[in-house]
């Protein structure tokens, strides 16, 4: 039995001490790579220094700032607007995500889940109380998957009822939520123990069909059963003995080339809260309430009853300048919002760079918004939070500090006790999370000093709200919030029972590739992504590769498979980011398959190059036979005749699908003979 912290630290020590490289499959914590660079800087940047008096000076500075605010910004009296909003609605807000609101079947699973954890560890967790303390994203993942299972009836070939899909689950091992910088097939899913007859029922029922065994994704769960009937659908990946399973819901299409942009194969594909996934869920399965609206992590179920007053002016700059301590500035922002209830003044602390995340989410949900309206949307959301939380006397009444699990975030220690925690955020992580595109994509960076974070959780009236991480950066003369992360980082000591065992697999073998082949591959990527010349890129595909385009279509259409491939390349060239550096347009995708022999090359941060084992070649050839001189065996040996490039597009604020291109030499020239979007 491994707890979260044990897995991450044992893994990292192995790498630091120079032990043989290995990968821990299904690790839960964040920031593994960044931990290697988590060396405390020798000095704090300006704005953090001398914060030992932050708590005592914050109130005095706010009083002084209040006297000066009338010179440059309005005070509309936030309390009056909230009072009018409350009066205009007769309903009382309802909060979800609690044990009491689970169905009987869901409660039984939670009871057994926590009981098994107690038997193994000795830690006693009362399900009725502890469930509400589990992170919002774990609860939404559990409730979404179990709701889909419970509303999926199973029948045999003759139409006789076999029960529901949830009846196949004996108990829960653990539930994964978002894991930063981890592949989508390890996020937003439930790991379970299956009943003895589960494999037999899945194999005989009409609702699920056996697909190609998992060989790259879902390591340890090769048996692959998918629900029919279109998206969204349930995927059950099982161990060879049928005793354990990895279950998730696929909400999005994986057709080429849309799957490269719409989030399938990524965490967003299985996160019920992302985009319009919830609406898609209700089209197929009913009975699931939306209590996780993105209202700063508060578990609000349905309509809160809030009605905003007419919009008024938002000041052009925050109350406090960067000459104040950052602790005081964060305190002022939160006090304006949650205690003084003047959200329009609080919005002034939010940078326009953070607006891009709001726009990206609205676009995914099919409700694109104008950038000019984002500040007013944020104002309304802040004001609605005030409506839900009432009138706290102080920040400690309404928020609590959170210790982040990811060791990449370094705590700021020279400050007194605050109702929030301040952390230093590595530049590389902050830029990775940036939705605005203002920061160039970068590798995890050891540098600190540009970004800081304030981590806290709103005390929800029922249960526990999500972890909020506000990322701050200095803009001109002000510290501003450049990113708002809701429930994307994990807190220490959150009660998440985990009965799964960590599976350790060796790293792939390393080697070097033929220079002529690598040069040919570089020409292709340069043509398609840097020069945006899709017509030239099309010439790199052998005619046989067009069969792969036909497989991604209900039919080949008027253009035929070749025409569809040509059009798909045009879409990719048009929608991919524009840059002269290939590494800013595409990024390497590592399938973490020990049977691959990875080859070194100059652009290995943009795409992974590997020799493809014989067992994987038929799948990439889209069902066609191997060449006569190649043989497929039952093992993972490789003839060395086929090579693969693995990559995905860089999509700010999202994680797109991965694409595998199969290369082989034909008539003395290296060409793409097959391709496939990786489908976990």
Nearest to 188 by CA among 137, 238, 147, 148: 137
Phi, psi at residue 75, to the nearest 5°? Answer: -125, 105
Instruction: Tell me which long-range contacts 74-78 makes (C-beta under 8 A, separation of at least 24).
Output: 74/312, 74/313, 74/315, 74/344, 75/342, 75/345, 76/312, 76/313, 76/342, 76/344, 77/342, 78/340, 78/341, 78/342, 78/343, 78/344, 78/345, 78/383, 78/386
Give the C-alpha separation, 415 to 322, whole Å.
17
In this prediction, residue 351 has a pLDDT band, given cuts at 50, 70 and 90, of very high
At 364 the pLDDT is 54
Q: Are 254 and 642 in contact (CB under 8 A)?
A: no
Higher pLDDT pick, 434 / 228: 228
At 34 the pLDDT is 28
Phi, psi at residue 511, to the nearest 5°? Answer: -170, -170
At 545 the pLDDT is 85
Q: Is the pLDDT of residue 512 over 60?
A: yes
pLDDT in tens, 656-675: 678 889 999 988 999 999 98
At 305 the pLDDT is 61
Mean pLDDT of 131-139: 85
At 199 the pLDDT is 94
Q: Domain boundaries in the chain?
A: 31-85+301-486, 99-284, 509-677
pLDDT in tens, 55-99: 444 444 444 333 333 333 433 334 444 433 443 444 555 667 889
Could you give the 3-state DSSP secondary structure of residue 136? helix
Nearest to 231 by CA among 197, 210, 255: 255
Could you give the 3-state DSSP secondary structure of residue 667? coil
Nearest to 663 by CA among 624, 630, 605, 620: 620
Q: What is the mean pLDDT of the chain?
A: 75
At 311 the pLDDT is 52
The whole-angstrom distance between residue 491's C-alpha and the CA centroid of its chain comes to 16
Q: Is the pLDDT of residue 489 over 90?
A: no
At 254 the pLDDT is 59
In this prediction, residue 462 has a pLDDT band, given cuts at 50, 70 and 90, of low
Q: Are 647 and 587 in contact (CB under 8 A)?
A: yes
Q: Quick one: CA dihedral 421, 424, 426, 427, positive or negative?
A: positive
pTM of the model: 0.61
At 554 the pLDDT is 38
* Cα first-last separation, the chain: 26
Mean pLDDT of 377-393: 86
At 91 the pLDDT is 53
Q: Are 323 and 302 in contact (CB under 8 A)?
A: no
Bond before 257 cis per omega within 30 degrees: yes
Region for 668 from its dihedrals, namely left if φ exceeds 0, alpha if ψ lies in -120 to 50, beta otherwise = left
Q: Are 237 and 223 in contact (CB under 8 A)?
A: yes
In this prediction, residue 491 has a pLDDT band, given cuts at 50, 70 and 90, of confident
At 669 the pLDDT is 93
Q: Is the pLDDT of residue 371 over 60?
A: yes
Structural Rg of the chain based on CA atoms: 26
Q: Other CB atoms closer than 10 Å to residue 325's CB: what's the count?
A: 26
Q: Is the pLDDT of residue 240 over 60?
A: yes
Nearest to 458 by CA among 339, 539, 626, 625: 339
The whole-angstrom distance between residue 243's C-alpha and the CA centroid of its chain comes to 28
**H or E, element range at 548:** helix 546-551
Mean pLDDT of 398-426: 89
Domain with residues 509-677, CATH architecture: Roll (3.10)
Q: Are 3 and 28 in contact (CB under 8 A)?
A: no
Q: How far is CA 30 from CA 175, 182, 407, 431, in A?
A: 15, 8, 8, 16
pLDDT in tens, 606-641: 999 999 888 778 777 775 544 433 333 333 344 568
Q: Is the pLDDT of residue 10 over 90?
A: no
Q: Are 32 and 9 in contact (CB under 8 A)?
A: no
Q: How far is CA 529 from CA 437, 537, 664, 671, in A?
A: 18, 9, 21, 17
Give the C-alpha separation, 492 to 265, whole Å.
28
Give the C-alpha separation, 545 to 530, whole Å.
23
């Amino acid at each position: 039995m491994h707890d979260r912290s044990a897995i991450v630290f044992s893994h990292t020590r192995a790498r630091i001490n120079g032990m043989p490289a290995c990968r821990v499959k299904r690790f839960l914590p964040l920031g593994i790579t960044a931990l290697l660079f988590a060396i405390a800087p020798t000095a704090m940047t300006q704005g953090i220094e001398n914060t030992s008096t932050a708590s005592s000076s914050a109130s005095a500075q706010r009083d002084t700032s209040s006297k000066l605010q009338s010179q440059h910004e309005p005070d509309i009296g936030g309390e009056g607007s909230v009072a009018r909003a409350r009066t205009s609605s007769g309903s009382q807000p309802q909060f979800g995500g609690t044990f009491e609101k689970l169905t009987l079947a869901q409660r039984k699973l939670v009871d057994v889940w926590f009981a098994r954890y107690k038997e193994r560890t000795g830690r006693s967790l009362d399900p009725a109380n502890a469930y509400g303390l589990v992170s919002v994203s774990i609860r939404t993942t559990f409730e979404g998957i179990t709701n889909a299972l419970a509303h999926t009836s199973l029948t045999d070939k003759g139409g006789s009822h076999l029960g529901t899909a949830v009846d196949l689950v004996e108990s829960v091992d653990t539930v994964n939520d978002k894991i930063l910088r981890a592949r989508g097939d390890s996020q937003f899913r439930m790991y379970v123990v299956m009943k003895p007859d589960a494999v037999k029922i899945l194999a005989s029922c009409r609702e699920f069909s056996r697909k190609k065994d998992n060989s790259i994704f879902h390591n340890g769960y090769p048996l692959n059963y998918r629900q029919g009937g279109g998206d969204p659908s349930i995927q059950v990946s099982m161990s060879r003995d049928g005793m354990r399973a990895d279950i998730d819901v696929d909400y999005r299409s994986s057709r080429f080339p849309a799957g490269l942009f719409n989030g399938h194969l990524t965490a967003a594909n299985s996160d019920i809260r992302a985009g319009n996934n919830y609406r898609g869920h209700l089209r197929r399965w009913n009975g699931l309430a939306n209590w996780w609206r993105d209202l700063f992590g508060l578990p609000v179920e349905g309509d809160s009853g809030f009605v905003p007053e007419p919009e008024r002016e938002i000041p052009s700059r925050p109350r406090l300048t960067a000459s104040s301590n950052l602790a005081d500035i964060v305190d002022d922002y939160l006090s304006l919002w949650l205690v003084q209830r003047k959200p329009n003044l609080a919005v002034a602390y939010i940078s326009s760079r953070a607006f891009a995340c709001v726009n990206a989410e609205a676009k995914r949900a099919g409700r694109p918004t104008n950038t000019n309206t984002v500040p007013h949307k944020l104002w309304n959301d802040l004001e609605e939070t005030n409506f839900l939380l009432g009138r706290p006397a102080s920040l400690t009444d309404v928020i609590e500090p959170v210790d982040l699990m990811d060791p990449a975030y370094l705590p700021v220690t020279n400050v007194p006790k605050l109702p929030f925690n301040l952390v230093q955020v590595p530049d590389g992580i902050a830029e990775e999370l940036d939705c605005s595109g203002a920061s160039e994509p970068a590798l995890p960076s050891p540098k600190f000093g540009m970004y800081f974070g304030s981590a806290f959780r709103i005390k929800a009236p029922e249960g526990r709200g999500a972890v909020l991480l506000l990322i701050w950066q200095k803009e001109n003369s002000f510290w501003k919030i450049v990113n708002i992360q809701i429930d994307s980082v994990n807190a220490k000591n959150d009660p998440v029972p985990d009965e799964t065992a960590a599976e350790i697999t060796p790293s792939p073998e390393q080697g070097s590739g033929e220079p002529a082949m690598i040069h040919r591959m570089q020409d292709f990527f340069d043509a398609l992504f840097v020069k945006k010349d899709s017509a030239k890129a099309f010439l790199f595909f052998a005619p046989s590769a067009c069969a792969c385009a036909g497989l991604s279509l209900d039919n080949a259409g008027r253009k035929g498979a070749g025409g569809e491939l040509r059009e798909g390349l045009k879409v990719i060239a048009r929608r991919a980011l524009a840059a002269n550096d290939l590494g800013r347009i595409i990024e390497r995708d590592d399938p973490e398959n020990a049977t691959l022999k990875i080859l070194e090359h100059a652009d290995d941060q943009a795409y992974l190059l590997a020799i493809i084992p014989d067992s994987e070649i038929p799948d990439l050839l889209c069902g066609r036979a191997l060449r006569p001189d190649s043989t497929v065996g039952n093992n993972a040996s490789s003839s060395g005749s086929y090579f693969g490039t693995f990559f995905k597009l860089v999509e700010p604020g999202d994680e797109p699908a991965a694409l595998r291109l199969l290369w082989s030499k034909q008539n003395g020239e290296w060409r793409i003979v097959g391709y496939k979007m990786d489908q976990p």
